[in-house]
Structure 1
Amino acid sequence: MKSRHHFGVTGTGNAARGFWRRLSGRRPVLLVAAAVVAVLLVGGAVFAVTRGDSPPPAAAPTNPPSQSAAPTPTPTPTVQPGADLRGPLDLLLVGVDTRVSVKGWEPHADAVLILHVNADLESGYLFSLPRDLVVDIPAFPKSGYRGGTTKLTHAMSYGSRRGKGEPSAAQGFQLLSQTVSKYTGIKKFHAGAILNFGGFAKLVDELGGVDMYVDQKVVSKHRQPNGKARTLRGGDYVGPQATYNPGNRHFVGWQAIDYARQRYTAGGDYTRQRHQQQLIKAILAKALSTGLPTDASAIERLFKALGSSVDVIAGERTPVEYGFALSKLRPETLTLVSLPGGGVGSGSGYRGEQLTSVGKGFITQLRAGKADAYLKANPKLVVKR
């Protein structure tokens, strides 16, 4: 990944190449924003709509042209940005617990999702890796990390270290992406995104909320029914709790985030991974249904709502180019995949999580271009809603 983009603002200079700008924000990130996918998919429309590719029709001449007049040249067709991009493409989406208000806090990857887009650029798969997945993290001389076997979430932390300087989530992402590549065998992530908490609720509200099916009862650890934060007392939260019961629901911003961030519920972090994926699909569906791909003003409001909350890295291409290239991807062609796993060790000896052979098998078959057949043979991996 050679260049960084902050929603259309391209990094320039040697310092910007290969790095992400230090994230801003005031609250921890506890999920990867569906906003990332939505913006990458509809972002190309910003370029097309706002730059005015189609000139207005020419007025009819008042007098016939003379015989000697030079013929009007045929306009050269506009080449769509990203028209030469070919699949398959892999995108790495990361939510980071930055806690920037705590001096010296090392950011952790709290959610790690991979979007694989097939060769046709019209369909794909979205799956998560557990934050506590036990992995081999390679050595990273830039931060002084010598390598080791530990939880995936720590890769961001170990990579973020800068001696006496403040830790950098941007630098930490580099080690995280190397770690994910090593574990999955995916050699290259064509684009990626990292999100802080700041503008995500505003984004959902800007879209008018999202519609989701709540597949199990979830009781919030962090929010009251009125949306206010619960009180932290003696190391735990107290007070009334927001509760999300099964069924079809319309979520405003704070509800969408709160629902998708809960892992202290039946199924633990695996349930949270599923809910994050469902939220991504719901935001994508809402973004497309509201006319964002053709409404420049709506897209500009979306960007404004995001503010500095999301940084996008797009390798050798821009987010606009990827936006155009992925413009045919739709919620109904995006398959959500849940990779099963279980704990390694128990009690005080708990080391983390590991995927089952079935879960790891999906990643292997995905690389081989045989994901559809594998999911047909293992239908329980597909998240239905």
Structure 2
Amino acid sequence: MAKSAKRRAPLWARLTAVFGAVLMVTSGVVLVGGNALISKYTGSLDAGTKLVGDPANGATKAGAKEIKGPLNILMAGIDPRDNKTAPLSDSIIVAHIPASMDQVFLFSIPRDLYVDIPAFPTTGFGGGKSKINAAMSFGSSVGNGKHDVEQGFQLLTKTVSQLTGIKQFDAGAIINFGGFKKIVEAMGGVTMTVDMTVKSEHLKPNGKPRDRLPSCADNTCEHPYIGVQKVYKPGTYHLEAWEALDYVRQRYGLPHSDYDRQRHQQQFIKAMAKQAMSKGVVTDPAKMLKILNAAGDAVKFGAANGTSVLDWGLALRGLDTDTMVSIKLPGGGIFEGGKYRGEGLGPNTDKFFEAVKNDKIPEFLLAHPEFVNTNS
């Protein structure tokens, strides 16, 4: 019996790590280039805490016990950039886990939301109004023309905290596009439902980059691509990694632009989480190892009290992916002097944020069912 228990332990450790990693990774969805370790925070995750590079630790019984709901997790995905380019967080998602630890509520912060970004003495930024995806940029400079996305994440955390009233996030993650693609590949692609016709801004039907206008070689054009493009039509499909990631990146040409993209990202999250916990994945140690190795290239992860992804996987083992609820925050364009400034949040979002703070989301949704993404 003792030998049998020892044989099962590595499998369980991998299983909990996969679930923890998939929750963190898929929630941030798409976006940043380069490589990164799964990391941890030293201390609580607040606006002054920095991600510290540290290989993922094994799950500990004490660590899992420290993770108790309600919990709020902030995730950001950024476009592929090197350390000489200021990052923009083009995907911002908050996951709320209630005190019961059996459900996940996801809501996206619009990338173009026009907000007050707090001052950040570290970079000399004095604060001001701008689109929220610029917060990481304003907080990322480390001198000599270089930028640190982890430092930029501090200002993004501070900005989202000020916006939502969430005083402290219990964990955070920065998502790496190249590594994330490897995770989807390790899982063998993903089966998900496409809810509308979506044309790819970036890729041809064979997955290769679309041609560019010669006049846009300097990358100053907003829409530089020409020629045939990949089209996703309504229906349920098993998408390859490049197809799934391309699909959830699209916003141009959609009826509600970034709001449609947010919904598609949340659909993707649910599909990935469900597939990650399917028998074909959790009973295949080789596949789980591939996913974990890919996660090491995809995510910078940090949590309060130094708990690891393995600890989180163990603590969140009771979550039911079928009860994952995605939230749509209403909003619309803000114009000043006829010029588009960004997006503003619609009615009752302040009440929603209050419900998040008080762990009363189900009660809020009963009174405001229009906030639920019913087709996600």
Instruction: Classify the TM-score, shorter chain.
Output: 0.7 to 0.9
**Do the aligned residues in 1 keep the contact of 2:39 with 2:52 (CA within 8 Å)?**
no
In 2, Cα distance between equivalents of 1:105 and 1:21: 21
CA deviation string 1:144-184 (max 9, x = no partner): 10111111011000000123241111110000001000100
CA distance in 2, matches of 1:247, 1:365: 34
The answer (yes or no) to whether the contact 2:197–2:234 under 8 Å persists in 1 is yes
1:8 and 1:195 map into 2 onto residues whose CA distance is: 10
Q: Separation in 2 of the partners of 1:295 and 1:323?
A: 17
Whether 1:142 aligns to 2:122 is yes
Match of 1:273 among 262, 265, 268: 262
Within a 5 Å distance, the mapping from 1:278-297 to structure 2 comes to 278-290=267-279, 292-293=281-282, 295-297=284-286
Distance 1:369 1:307 in 2: 32
SS at match of 2:142: coil
- Tell me the residue number matched to 2:5: none
Asked if 1 retains the 8 angstrom alpha-carbon contact of 2:40 and 2:301, the reply is no
Percent identity, aligned pairs only, is: 42
- Residue of structure 2 in register with 1:155 after alignment: 135
Shift, 1:134, TM fit: 1.2
Name the structure with the higher helix share: 2
1:330 aligns with 2:310: no
The CA deviation at 1:323 is 1.3
Q: Give a deviation string over 1:331-371, Cα, whole Å, max 9, x none.
A: 21211111110000078611111110233322222222321
Match of 1:86 among 57, 64, 68: 68
CA distance in 2, matches of 1:320, 1:193: 14
Q: 1:201 & 1:318 partners in 2: Cα distance? A: 22
What TM-score does the superposition give when structure 1 sets the normalisation length? 0.78
The TM-score with structure 2 as length reference comes to: 0.80
Is 1:252 the counterpart of 2:240 in the alignment? yes
1:370/1:10 Cα in 2 relative to 1: closer, same or farther (>3 Å)?
A: closer
Sort the Cα spacing of 1:120 and 1:294 in 2 relative to 1 into closer, same or farther, 3 A. farther
TM-aligned CA deviation for residue 98 of structure 1: 4.0
1:199 maps onto 2:187 in alignment: no
**Which of 325-334 and 218-227 deviates more?**
325-334
Task: List alignment gaps of at least 5 residues for structure 2.
Answer: 1-35, 43-47
CA contact (8 A) 1:83 1:324 kept: no
TM-superposed CA distance for 1:199, in Å, is 1.9
Aligned residue number for residue 227 of structure 2:
239
Matched residues in 1 for 2:266 and 2:201: separation?
Answer: 20
Residues 111-167 of structure 1, C-alpha deviations (whole Å, 9 max, x = no match): 100000000111120000001111111111111101111110110000001232411
CA RMSD of aligned residues (A): 2.4
Aligned equivalents of 1:8, 1:108: Cα separation in 2:
20
Aligned counterpart, 1:313: 302
Match of 1:99?
81
Q: Which runs of 5+ in 1 are unaligned?
A: 1-5, 23-42, 49-77
2: CA distance, partners of 1:137 / 1:378? 29
Equivalent pair of 1:341/1:354 in contact (CA under 8 Å): yes
Please tell me whether residue 375 in structure 1 is matched to residue 375 in structure 2: no
- Once the 2 structures are TM-superposed, how far is the Cα of residue 92 of structure 1 from its aligned partner? 0.5
1:20 is aligned, of 51, 65, 68, to 51
Q: CA separation in 2, counterparts of 1:172 and 1:380?
A: 33
Q: Which moved more, 1:157-166 or 1:355-364?
A: 355-364
Q: Single out whichever of 244-253 and 108-117 deviates more from structure 2.
A: 244-253
Aligned AA (2:50): F
3-state SS of the aligned residue for 2:126? coil
Residue 342 (structure 2) pairs with residue 352 (structure 1): yes
